């Protein structure tokens, strides 16, 4: 139980924040604070300070306008500091992360009587590697030759950028964070400047004391609040927890935008490899080993493994060559081919198993070489190679080792067969662009991450808060529980939005002549938009199909040329900036957007007074993971449409409607052009879950 003193401390901090930030106290915000504090206060500690009971997880759906960021920070931070734990706030989008870092936390730090520090946590790939920057500049100056691998040589046109980076990092004007550089950095430019885990030589690097990544890691150690994203948290958990971020048993997590957690986890656990790209990698590996032996020689302890390496690489290449005609035959003229219940044809599965045998000694050899090169970088150790050889070859060998490990893991999972009673794994083939040609990729993904999240997160964390404006689907937490593996004993609470939806907003289900399955639907939508949308107002039109968006844009581009901005033709941020500018100038504007404009876009007041949703946002029917889940559910006598498809559409529909009322004074109208909401049996379920707008 939370002690009386702790409760009073939280209440006092809330009063301080409301007064200092000139906010209006909100009932829903107070309820959210109380629920989180109660859940965390119920945690009983074991001998080592870990959670020792079924408590400490609060799931709170907080309607738009609740002020959930302030609520979870005020409730969780005092508890975390009192119990010597880290508070880790994880978001799904960069926009929310920046808001918390640049606005919410600085404001609280300035005004609260609770002193605390905060830091940003990002993956290694977002930070400058001084060693690679130094090598790139040396290569451009001709001082250092490069290993011919993956076109690693930097280009002359980037010299000015790299020199500018060195100056600004050295003078403290830039902290090495890619996202805080003054201009956009192209992916190809950045690959020369950042190191993966396998490329990094850690404390053996001469730049270690001045490393941007490890400086950021050091700042985390002194922080009471760490801000990260879902992907980084999942990466850390997959490494056992505590590898990048604080250990789970020492952490209270807050998953803001928590409805994305399960989807992020599904993508995180997906494994894949391309047939052509793997064959190309094997050619590069063979060439690299030849170059390495010519340059560095063969250490005595690796004589046998390096001598048999070419034969193992050749064996792998031959097997990969045989995979190509098999997958070509399976694909035929399709872009994607999913295997029922995740079962690969026996011939393909056997061939993938064949590849695993020669890959194992290749991976072991690369691992040993990488280790010897790392040791040879250290002047305090007697290495097998000169320091010059180690500096040249450590990073390329690390890249090759990482690729070999990824391939090994992918082969094992793609070629596996699940046991009786186990959940199937989704497995499929897909055609992907590859250079000027195309490749066929073999992929595997779990259909549920509930077990992984239960094992690595919910059962190990000291405490957790999962929050979002949309956690329930069809007015129930059941879908979230199933997808994210949340325990039944967690506390579940819904906090209503303070907005007066029935007074400020209208909802109309437009009964067009056709429904979305009809060929006439596109033209019916265009005719309705022409009659019902005022180009002099702020309007957001949300499409489920890029093809329909582009066709509708083509229809209106002449008449609405000065009033129309479309996703896919300009960056998202630029669309928002131009839209606001036009509305501020009193000109009116219309945005045509897809799914990413239905969530996370904040256009209050006159910026959006009319939201048009073209159709119910059902998931793409050919998504291989969703199809595999549906197949498994049907095999168990369950209804995937009611349990999976409809709840997911409900959440997306609520999010889309949520673009209208962003502040208490906002007013406007939502129009949904899908008459299935009133003509189908499931339509009323979707309507009942929407904000209580006045129906017209």
CA atoms within 13 A on the CB side of 634: 10
Collect the ranges in the chain with pLDDT lower than 70: 142-153
Q: Are strands 425-434 and 437-446 parallel, antiparallel or unpaired?
A: antiparallel
d(Cα 286, Cα 423) in Å, to the nearest integer? 39
d(Cα 141, Cα 139) in Å, to the nearest integer? 5
For the whole model, what pTM was predicted?
0.89
Q: Are strands 251-255 and 118-120 parallel, antiparallel or unpaired?
A: unpaired
Note whether 355 and 266 are within 8 A (CB): no
What pLDDT is stored for residue 456 in this prediction? Answer: 96
200 is in an annotated binding site: yes
d(Cα 318, Cα 170) in Å, to the nearest integer? 49
Residues in Cβ contact with 253 at an 8 Å cutoff, skipping those fewer than 6 apart: 88, 90, 233, 457, 461, 463, 464, 465
DSSP state of 117: -
| Among the listed residues 656, 642, 655, the one whose alpha carbon sits nearest the alpha carbon of residue 685 | 642
129 is in an annotated binding site: yes
What pLDDT is stored for residue 364 in this prediction? Answer: 96
CB atoms within 10 A of CB 513: 12
d(Cα 542, Cα 594) in Å, to the nearest integer? 6
Question: 3-state class of 468 per DSSP?
Answer: strand
Note whether 402 and 311 are within 8 A (CB): no
Question: 3-state class of 608 per DSSP?
Answer: coil
Note whether 449 and 266 are within 8 A (CB): yes
pLDDT (tens digit per residue) in 256-281: 999 999 999 998 999 999 999 999 99
566 is in an annotated binding site: no
What pLDDT is stored for residue 510 in this prediction? Answer: 97
pLDDT (tens digit per residue) in 322-369: 999 999 999 988 999 999 999 999 999 999 999 999 999 999 999 999
Note whether 393 and 145 are within 8 A (CB): no
What pLDDT is stored for residue 150 in this prediction? Answer: 46
Residues in Cβ contact with 228 at an 8 Å cutoff, skipping those fewer than 6 apart: 88, 89, 90, 91, 120, 121, 122, 245
Note whether 644 and 633 are within 8 A (CB): yes
CA distances from residue 21 to 71, 110, 111, 309 in whole angstroms, order as listed: 13, 10, 8, 65
The string of DSSP codes covering 28-90 is: HHHHHHHHHHHHHHTPPB-TTS-B-SS--EEEEEE-TTS-HHHHHHHHHHHHHHHTT-EEEEE
DSSP H helices, 378-496, are 387-414, 450-453, 478-484
DSSP state of 473: B
Note whether 27 and 68 are within 8 A (CB): no
d(Cα 147, Cα 618) in Å, to the nearest integer? 49
- Which helix or strand (DSSP H or E) is residue 8 part of? helix 4-20
461 is in an annotated binding site: no
What pLDDT is stored for residue 65 in this prediction? Answer: 92
């Amino acid at each position: 139980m939370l002690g009386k003193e702790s409760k009073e401390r939280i209440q006092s901090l809330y009063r301080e924040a409301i007064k200092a930030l000139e906010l209006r106290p909100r009932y829903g915000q107070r309820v959210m604070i109380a629920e989180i504090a109660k859940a965390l206060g119920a945690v009983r500690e074991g001998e080592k300070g870990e959670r020792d009971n079924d408590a400490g997880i609060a799931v709170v759906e907080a309607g738009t306008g609740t002020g959930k960021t302030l609520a979870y920070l005020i409730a969780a931070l005092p508890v975390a500091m009192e119990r010597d734990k880290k508070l880790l706030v994880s978001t799904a989008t960069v926009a929310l992360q920046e808001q918390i870092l640049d606005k919410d936390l600085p404001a609280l730090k300035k005004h609260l009587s609770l002193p605390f520090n905060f830091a940003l946590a990002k993956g290694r790939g977002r930070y400058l590697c001084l060693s690679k920057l130094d090598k790139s500049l040396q290569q451009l100056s001709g001082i250092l030759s490069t290993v011919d691998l993956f076109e690693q040589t930097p280009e002359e046109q980037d010299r000015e950028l790299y020199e500018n980076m060195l100056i600004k990092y050295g003078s403290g004007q830039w902290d090495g964070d890619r996202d805080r550089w003054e201009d956009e950095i192209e992916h190809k430019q950045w690959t020369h400047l950042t190191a993966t885990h396998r490329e990094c030589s850690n404390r053996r690097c001469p730049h270690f004391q001045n490393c941007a990544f490890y400086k950021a890691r050091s700042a985390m150690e002194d922080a009471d609040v760490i801000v990260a994203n879902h992907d980084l948290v999942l990466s850390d958990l997959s490494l056992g927890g505590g590898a990048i971020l604080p250990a789970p048993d020492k952490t209270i997590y807050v998953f803001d935008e928590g409805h994305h957690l399960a989807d992020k986890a599904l993508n995180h656990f997906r494994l894949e490899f391309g047939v052509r790209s793997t064959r190309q990698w094997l050619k590069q590996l063979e060439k690299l080993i030849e170059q390495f032996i010519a340059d560095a020689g063969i250490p005595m302890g690796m004589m046998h493994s390096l001598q048999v390496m070419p034969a193992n690489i050749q064996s792998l290449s031959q097997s990969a060559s045989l995979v190509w005609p098999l997958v070509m035959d399976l694909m035929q003229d399709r872009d994607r081919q999913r295997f029922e219940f995740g079962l690969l044809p026996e011939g393909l599965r056997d061939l993938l198993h064949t590849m695993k045998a020669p890959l194992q000694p290749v991976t072991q050899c690369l691992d040993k070489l990488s280790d010897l090169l790392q040791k040879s970088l250290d002047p305090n150790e007697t290495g097998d190679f000169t320091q010059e050889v180690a500096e040249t070859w450590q990073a390329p060998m690390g890249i090759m080792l990482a690729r070999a490990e990824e391939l090994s893991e992918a082969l094992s999972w793609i070629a596996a067969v699940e046991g009786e009673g186990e959940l199937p794994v989704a497995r499929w083939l897909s055609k992907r662009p590859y250079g000027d040609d195309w490749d066929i990729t073999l992929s595997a993904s779990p259909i549920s991450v509930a077990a992984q999240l239960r094992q690595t997160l919910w059962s190990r964390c000291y405490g957790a808060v999962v929050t979002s404006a949309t956690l329930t689907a069809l007015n129930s937490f059941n879908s979230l529980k199933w997808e994210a593996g949340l325990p039944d004993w967690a506390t579940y609470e819904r906090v209503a939005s303070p907005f007066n939806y029935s007074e400020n907003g209208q909802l109309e289900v437009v009964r067009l002549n056709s429904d979305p399955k009809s060929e006439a639907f596109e033209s019916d939508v265009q005719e309705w938009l022409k009659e019902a949308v005022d180009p002099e107002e702020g309007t957001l039109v949300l499409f489920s199909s890029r093809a329909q968006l582009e066709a509708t844009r083509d229809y209106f581009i002449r008449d609405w040329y000065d009033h129309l901005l479309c996703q896919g033709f300009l960056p998202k941020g630029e669309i928002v900036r131009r839209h606001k500018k036009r509305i501020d100038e009193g000109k009116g504007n219309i945005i045509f957007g897809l799914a990413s404009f239905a969530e996370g876009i904040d256009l209050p007041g006159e910026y959006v007074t009319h939201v048009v949703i073209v159709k119910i946002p059902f998931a793409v029917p050919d998504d291989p993971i969703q199809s595999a889940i549906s197949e498994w559910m049907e095999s168990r006598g369950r209804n995937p449409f009611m349990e999976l498809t409809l709840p997911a559409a409900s959440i997306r529909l609520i999010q889309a409607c949520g673009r209208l009322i962003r502040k208490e004074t906002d007013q406007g109208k939502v129009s949904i052009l899908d008459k299935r909401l009133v003509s189908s049996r499931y339509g009323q379920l979707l309507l009942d879950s929407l904000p209580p707008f006045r129906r017209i």
